[in-house]
A and B are shown apart, each in its own frame.
Chain A
Amino acid sequence: MSGLSGHGAAAMNARVIPRLDVKAGNLVKGIHLEGLRVLGKPEFFAREYYEQGADELLFMDVVASLYGRNNILEIVEKTADQIFIPLVVGGGIRSVSDIRDVLRAGADKVTINTAAIRRPEFIAEASQEFGASTIVVSIEAIKRDGKFEAYTDGGRERTGREVVDWAAQVVDLGAGEILITSVDRDGTGEGYDLELTRLVTAAVPIPVIASGGAGSADHCAAALHAGASAVGVASMLHYGLLREMRVDRSGIAPEINLHHLERPGFARVRGTLLSELKTSLAERGYYSRVIAA
């Protein structure tokens, strides 16, 4: 094997997946899945990430209402017409018919959370209809009394389900992948919850995407080392891109007040460019999509 720097027999396949939370046509970001701030236009961020080497793109509809769905489907369609890498879409997907609509708009995979916990057979139905690899079960975890509990509705509703048990169950039901998000770490830039990552990856034989808390390339490498096959990254990349574009944000975030980014003490997350993150991971032996020089 040759041709890629740092790629040898021990190199590990990894994916970096920028996560774009969308509300009313805008890219938003919060902390612990709440306190959402508008950051700009999702299409712009998507194109930048694509050009900087994103392996896949994950669009999450954080409103999950019918009105919100139309907005995000439009964004997905526009993206799919120009960007030819895997698109994953989630948020409020409740039926096989919803999945069909989302795939038609350009998604290759969908994530389901609330609908799956409420009615686990939905996973089996979706997997049989569209193929297991199309169905990503998303689990949002909050640590309570030493255990990880699954939550729905953007980290607001308890389910009483223990995360690791639920993860093992979704595999039996036909999920092709699991997206595990630490609500405790989301937006903090403090790093992924490695204990959560280890527990979930050890419990299932399918790929697991770790999400929530990335603040540096070290964090991403640690999650991959802990067993994740891919890392979802949001704040770190969005703020990294916005800082990079400090001088001219007219394309990315017209008319949006981003002065809070300059305020000292704001930055829990300093930000990194996706291209730098990918280079750093490649140097550590994790190979993924490579942009030709």
Chain B
Amino acid sequence: MTRTVIVDFGGGNLYNVRRACSHVGLAADITDEPDVVAGADALILPGVGSMKHAMNRLDGRGLTPVIRDAVARGVPILGVCLGLQLLMERGTEFGDYHGLDILAGTVTRFPVTDAAGDLLRVPHIGWSPVQPAPRKDWTGTLLATVPPATAMYFVHSYRVEPADPDVIVAFAEYGGYEFPAAIQAGNVFAAQFHPERSGEAGLRVYEQFAARVRGVAELAPVAR
């Protein structure tokens, strides 16, 4: 029986992440206990809110080294929204500060104006199409059963800028700015959008994660 753990660092709606897991047959616990996180077969890092706050909580609970160790051991990881941003090396909100430093790169806020110079409302809230990164398809990622250009639900004020562009598997656009919508690096997959809020298409991401957790090879598209 695999143990999936949703890490509670005070971010966002953990209960809906758990509901999505449950819907695809993946039992998951919500916790901030380092021992439980360390013993997990799979980890989900969800979140809504401030990177700075989240890191304070993770550091405060001693979870930062535990999560970094889980990544190094090849534990399947799913990052959602703030969870993606936390993977990065550092953020630039109210001055420089560190993330989990699992991926080199930074986290920066959307500009206050769009590419045409008009007001850009932030947070970016809404459904936007997600496209494969150039010269990539989604085979082997958690988007394997999602058609390109499917709209997913985003709510965020920041976007990630990985130092290695090769980890980016999907892009989306807001205000004329392209930004990474999903990354995959080995056992780590993270989405800027909320797959648990993106309807049936989003649930496919959880299905793929469930398959990965159970050690099963890529699922064929599920008939609905």
A residues lining the B interface (CB < 8 Å): 1-4, 7, 9, 13-15, 50, 55, 80-81, 84-86, 103-108, 128-134, 176-177, 205-208, 229-230, 287-290, 292
Contacts and interface: CB of A to CB of B under 8 A. Distances in A.
A3 B217 CA distance: 29
A2 B194 CA distance: 22
Contact of B15 (A15, A55, A103, A205): A103
B9 to A, nearest CB: 12
A86 B197 contact: yes
A58 to B, nearest CB: 13
Contacts of B153: 55, 85-86, 289
The 10 lowest CB-CB distance pairs between A and B, nearest first, are: A3-B149, A131-B49, A289-B127, A131-B48, A13-B126, A133-B123, A207-B121, A133-B155, A86-B197, A288-B127
Interface stretch (B16-24, B136-144, B208-216): B16-24
Interface centre among B123, B147, B173, B196 (most CB of A within 10 A): B123
Contacts of A14: 126
A85 B151 contact: no
Classify the interface of chain B: helix, strand, loop or mixed: mixed
Given A1-B129, A55-B127, A132-B49, 14 more contacts: A3-B131, A84-B16, A84-B200, A84-B203, A86-B155, A106-B19, A133-B48, A205-B122, A230-B126, A287-B127, A287-B128, A289-B153, A290-B150, A292-B150
A277 B148 CA distance: 25
14 contacts: A3-B129, A7-B129, A9-B176, A81-B19, A85-B199, A103-B15, A107-B13, A108-B16, A176-B123, A176-B125, A206-B123, A207-B125, A288-B151, A289-B151
A287 B125 contact: no
A84 B128 contact: no
Nearest to A209: B125
Nearest to B112: A205
A3 B146 CA distance: 13
Contacts of B124: 13
Contacts of B131: 1, 3
Most chain A CB neighbours (cut-off 10 Å) among B48, B50, B156: B48
B83 interface: no
Interface of A is mostly: loop
A3 B129 CA distance: 8
Contacts of A230: 125-126
Contacts, number: 125
B179 interface: no
Interface string B131-172: 100000000000000011111010111000000000000000
A105 B20 CA distance: 14
Contacts of A292: 147, 150, 200-201
Which of A13, A14, A15 has the most B CB atoms < 10 Å from its CB?
A: A13
B13 A103 contact: yes
A207 B199 CA distance: 22
A50 B53 CA distance: 34
A81 B147 CA distance: 25
A287 to B, nearest CB: 7
B198 interface: yes
A215 B207 CA distance: 39
A180 to B, nearest CB: 14
B99 interface: no
A154 to B, nearest CB: 26
A71 to B, nearest CB: 19
A207 B13 contact: no
B79 interface: no
A85 B151 CA distance: 12
Given A55-B126, A106-B15, A132-B123, A84 B196 contact: yes
Contacts of B105: none
Given A3-B149, A131-B48, A133-B155, A84 B199 contact: yes
B209 to A, nearest CB: 14
Nearest to B125: A207
Contacts of B200: 84, 292
Contacts of B203: 84
B155 A84 contact: no
Contact of B127 (A9, A15, A81, A133): A15
A55 B200 CA distance: 13
Nearest to B152: A289
A287 B151 contact: yes
A10 B156 CA distance: 21
